[in-house]
Amino acid sequence: MLSSTAKNLYWMARYIQRAENTARVLEATNRMALLSNSDREWRSVPLIYGLDADFAERHPSPTMRDMLHYLTIDEANPSSVASCFRAARNNARDERNNLTIDLWESLNGTWLELQGMMRGIGDGIDFRQFLDWTKKQAVMATGAAQSTLLRDDAYNFVMLGLQVERADNTARILDVKYHILLPKGERVGGSLDYYQWAEVLSCIGAYRTYRRVYSSKIEPWRVAELMILRHDLPRSLLFCLGQVDRNLGELAELYGARGEATRLAGKLYSKLRYARIDTIFQDGLHEYLSDFIRGNARLSEEISRQFLMG
């Protein structure tokens, strides 16, 4: 497969996943803002995506609506939902011959519908409705990819993009939400307001999953364990890196060679597989997550170096 083709497929999936993750975070944050008198919840959202400096420069005295606009329909922000869907659709258009009709029509239809929505909304957008629409469109595109693509190298590059992006977002959500929302004087690992932890779980769509797995009140260490070490939660770090390791292994078999990306994925996966949540908290949750984010970023760079440059 041409490196340009692999690159388009990889980033198509990353942009789809980024749009969905952004919608989930904003939806949960919007709910939390209705229950809180503080603005720290919604002000923390640009920080998750590393956009806090740009957001502050463009909105010196921001409101929550400014933040929602910036991360949803602001096409000047390359990480907004609208920009992500546009980039995903453009990448898909370049690789129509490598995609199924279902996947292409899902992405193209999403972009056309989004263009129509943006022409008519102006400042009167219903953000809750828009975020719900975003999640559904992203899930449909991801579902089309998983249910119709041939299990070849194209599929593996799509899944690589999806899982690398998912892992990065889960780590950033837990890190930023846990430490930004932690009240002053509250010890790490101590109790925190129930609704704030429910928000963190909602960001990855795992609130009901938590209740099913633990059947207890929401506790910080269990939230972290679920999001980091649960092998059967699709958005946990362990699950995502397990899938990345598998996809890179299949590509190694197809191409007859293993590279640094394959080695690094195996290392990150093994570190997660044998980790213990009590040790993670003892050594520092922020330090652990920061180390993972750096490792995941390096993995993405190695994937690009090994497969996507030519």
Higher pLDDT, 120 or 223: 223
Domain boundaries, the chain: 1-149, 150-310
Quote the mean pLDDT of the chain: 89
Phi-psi region of 59 (alpha: psi -120 to 50; beta: other; left: phi over 0): beta
- Cβ-proximal residues to 225 (8 Å cutoff; 6+ apart), any chain: 277
Residue at token pair 């090994």: 306
Mean pLDDT of 261-289: 94
Look up residue 187 and give its DSSP letter. P
Task: Return the H-helix or E-strand segment holding 214.
Answer: helix 207-214
Mean pLDDT of 90-106: 96
Mean pLDDT of 136-158: 96
Q: Distance between CA atoms of 12 and 142, rounded to whole angstroms? A: 11
Residue at token pair 């907004």: 80
| Per-residue pLDDT at 33 | 74
The amino acid at 112? L
Q: What is the pTM of this model?
A: 0.91
309 three-state secondary structure: coil
Write out pLDDT tens, residues 174-231: 888 776 665 555 554 444 466 778 888 888 889 899 999 998 788 888 999 999 999 9
Residue at token pair 């400096």: 53
Q: Distance between CA atoms of 88 and 15, rounded to whole angstroms? A: 5
Q: Distance between CA atoms of 181 and 168, rounded to whole angstroms? A: 19
Write out pLDDT tens, residues 34-54: 766 667 778 888 988 889 999
| Per-residue pLDDT at 189 | 46
- Quickly state the pLDDT bin for 246 (edges 50, 70, 90): very high
User: What tokens were used for 115?
Assistant: 């263009």
Buried b / exposed e along 89-118 (16+ C-beta atoms within 10 A):
bebbeebeebbeebbbebbeebbeebeeee
- Quickly state the pLDDT bin for 98 (edges 50, 70, 90): very high
Look up residue 83 and give its DSSP letter. H
The angle that helices 153-180 and 3-35 make with each other, rounded to 10 degrees, is 30
